[in-house]
Structures are given as C-alpha cells and as structure tokens.
Amino acid sequence: MRNKIYLSPPDLKGNERSLVTEVFESNWIAPQGPMINTFENKLSQMVGSSYAIALNSATAAIHLGLQVLGVGQDDKVLCSTFTFVASVNPIRYVGAIPILVDIESESWNICPVLLEKAIVRETEKGSKPKALILVHGYGMPAKIDKILEVTQKYDILVLEDSASALGSTHNDKYCGTFGEIGVFSFNGNKIITTSGGGALVTGHKEYAEKALFLASQAKATTGEYQHRAIGYNYRLSNVLAAIGVAQLDLLSDFLHKRRQNHQFYKNKLKNIAVTFLEDHISSKSNFWLTNLLFHSYEIKEKVRLALLNKNIESRSLWTPMHQQKMYREACFYANGASDDLYMRGLSLPSGSSLTTSEMQLICEVIISCV
C-alpha cells in the first residue's frame, strides 16, 4: 500500500533540530528557560499582542483564561456548538454552565443573531452570561465585528479560541487579539507545532501575570515552597519551545502553501457539486484545513471511504456539542446549521508538505465518487 496521506502532518523543515540540540547542550530541559522566553516574545510580536504565555496545550490555555477572567461556579459561558470538545470542556472544569449557540452558514462560526437571542433569554431566566468563548473554527475567522457589537452591548467578556487560527486575520488584525484573552494550539496537526503545546495571549498585564502564576503551580516568588492558590503544571517545556521558535520562522511559508492547497482543490473540483468554506468580507483564513460540503451524507461517506481505501486520511466535520453525550442536556439555541454541516461536510488533507501529485490523486478519487 502507498504511503499514507495524512490530514495535517507536522512539517519540520527549518531549524528545529539544531535549536533542540542547543537546548540539550545547555541542559535547559525543564518547563522554564531561554527558549520559552524567545518563543513567547516571537509569538506576541508576530500576532501583535502585548503578552504571550507558552503552555502545554490550548485546553490548558482556555482553562486558565476562564479563571483569569473570573469565571467560576454556576456562571454561564456562551460557546459555539460547532467546535472541538476542548473548547467547551474547560467551562465545566471551573464549574460554569455552557450555553451552546448554533452557527451561521458563511463562516461556520457562532451566529451573532442567535448569540444575542441567547444572551437576552438567559438574562431573563435570572442571570446574564458572563463570557463568550469565541471559536474561529478550522482557522476561519468568525463574524467578529457583529459578535463584538453584541458582546459589548451586553458587557460580555470574550475569550477567543483561535486554536486552529494562527495567522488568520480580520481587517488585517490577527485572530486571538480581539478579545480580552486569545488562545492558540501547537498540537502536532496544527499549522505550526511544538509537538504538543499552546499559548495564552492578552493585552492586559494583570491577566498575563495571573495566568503565568496559576500555570506555574501558583508558587510565590520566595525561596520557600509557598503557594497562595491552587495552581497547575501547565507550562511548556523549554525543549518543545525550541521547536516552536523554528516553526514560527516558517509560518508565512506555511500560510502561503495552505492557501495554495485550498485553491488547487477549488480549481480541480469546480465542475462537480461541492461547496467550499471560503473567506468572507474583510477576513482571511489560514486554511488550516480545506473543508467542503457534499449534497448528502451518503455522498460524503462514499468519498471518505473511497479516500480511506487509497490510504488517504480525511475527516468528517465536528460532531456538534449538543449531540455529545456530556452536553445533550445543555441549553442550546439552534437553527440546524451545525447538524447539517456535520452530516455533509468533510475535511481534506491540507498539510504544508502536501505534493501536487497527492492532491491530484485526492481530487481524482472525489470526482470518481461524485
């Protein structure tokens, strides 16, 4: 069988090896060290945020972000139902209550109209939601202007889940920098990787300081083991930060290649009945994954299985949170859009190391099915 074509594999073609060797030679292999500082500085400068805290996952970053924003027991937190489960689970970590909201069909992110409806109705029930986890799903910016208009109107805090949206922009401003706090992921399948890892970014010094404090076991800055709160072991390793430093230098190349991949698929599949997730007004996606919709679940599954038979990884779109066992009883403001995407949508291989011949094969398989 031919070598497998993966959905979004790591692309380690820069200085990763030499920087990791430098870390080993310096013996800085703990969750502290100069590479972490370099990585945080490069990341904050790149996205235009005052502060960046390197962490061991984006999930940890969301968890810390909610705590830093003061979200706690029985607070209501709004979130798109169409997302990866790690966007919602931290709401429960802090004892808060998830309020799930359906999406609009252009960006596949939270619908501003339903968002306002949810805020009004939840407030009428007795307590106004405290925060919104604003997901930029699949790297596509949400309808940021309309959403912020709603959150500012009702004084709702915004934590941007930009886990898959590093490099995506709206009005030439980077996703992750519109809310009080932003979150990025550097998991192995993301647009850049540190193997496993994430980051919290913010323009607020007090948020950054509190996040760093909690991420480091809430240890006081004394010579003794004094802790003033319950903290976490959430910092990124200095070894993995070295990989991140090298990967950040390649980000512009990765963005260019992923956009090229998306355009290739569009050109080759333009004569068949599929619809692509595209940029919308004033927004520019990093096209972390190229996603398309088929006319039916049956056709989508036929394509997915045909690709699998050729040792090509593709993936159905997210199962909405309101369909997940843990969140079926959660309050949900629906319009049916996320259920439809789940049934008909597919993510195609989109990695920056993908070759033209591999994409050509993928398109041939899709065309033969449709």
What is the per-residue pLDDT for 220?
76
3 state DSSP class of 62: helix
DSSP secondary structure code for residue 335 in this structure: -
Boundary (domain end) residue, out of 222, 248, 274: 248
Give percent helix, percent strand, percent coil of the chain, each to the nearest 5.
40, 20, 40
Counting residues of the chain whose pLDDT is more than 90, the rounded percentage is 94
Q: Are residues 297 and 314 in the same domain?
A: yes
Would 7 be classed as within a structural domain?
Answer: no
What is the per-residue pLDDT for 2?
61
Q: How far is CA 325 from CA 74, 94, 109, in A?
A: 20, 19, 22
Question: What CATH number is attached to the domain comprising 192?
Answer: 3.40.640.10
What is the per-residue pLDDT for 180?
98
Q: Are residues 351 and 212 in the same domain?
A: no
Closest CA to 70 of 122, 125, 20, 130: 130
Q: Are residues 29 and 41 in the same domain?
A: yes
**Rounded to 5°, angle at Cα 197 from 195 and 200:** 155
Q: Are residues 227 and 265 in the same domain?
A: no
**How far, in Å, CA of 266 to CA of 89, rounded?**
35
Q: Are residues 180 and 31 in the same domain?
A: yes
Would 284 be classed as within a structural domain?
Answer: yes
Q: Are residues 216 and 121 in the same domain?
A: yes
Would 169 be classed as within a structural domain?
Answer: yes
Q: Are residues 234 and 110 in the same domain?
A: yes
Boundary (domain end) residue, out of 197, 224, 248: 248
What is the per-residue pLDDT for 31?
80
Q: Are residues 271 and 299 in the same domain?
A: yes
Q: Are residues 241 and 188 in the same domain?
A: yes
Q: Which domain holds residue 145?
A: 16-248
3 state DSSP class of 220: coil
Would 181 be classed as within a structural domain?
Answer: yes
Would 2 be classed as within a structural domain?
Answer: no
What is the per-residue pLDDT for 273?
93
Our count of domains for the chain comes to 2
Within the chain, strands assigned E span 51-55, 76-80, 97-101, 131-135, 157-161, 169-170, 173-174, 181-185, 198-202, 275-276, 283-284, 290-293, 315-316, 331-333, 345-348
Q: What does the chain come to in residues? A: 370
What is the per-residue pLDDT for 199?
98
Q: Are residues 237 and 171 in the same domain?
A: yes
Residues 86-143 pLDDT 10s:
999 999 999 999 999 999 999 999 999 999 999 999 999 999 999 999 999 999 999 9
Would 4 be classed as within a structural domain?
Answer: no
Q: Are 66 and 159 in contact (CB under 8 A)?
A: yes
Ranges under pLDDT 70 in the chain: 1-2, 222-223
Q: Are residues 125 and 35 in the same domain?
A: yes
Would 330 be classed as within a structural domain?
Answer: yes
Boundary (domain end) residue, out of 217, 248, 279: 248
Question: What CATH number is attached to the domain comprising 273?
Answer: 3.90.1150.10
pTM over 0.85: yes
Would 111 be classed as within a structural domain?
Answer: yes
Q: Are residues 38 and 130 in the same domain?
A: yes
The residue behind tokens 């959905």 is: 7
What single letter denotes the amino acid at residue 353? S
Q: Quickly count: other Cβ atoms within 10 Å of residue 161's Cβ.
A: 33
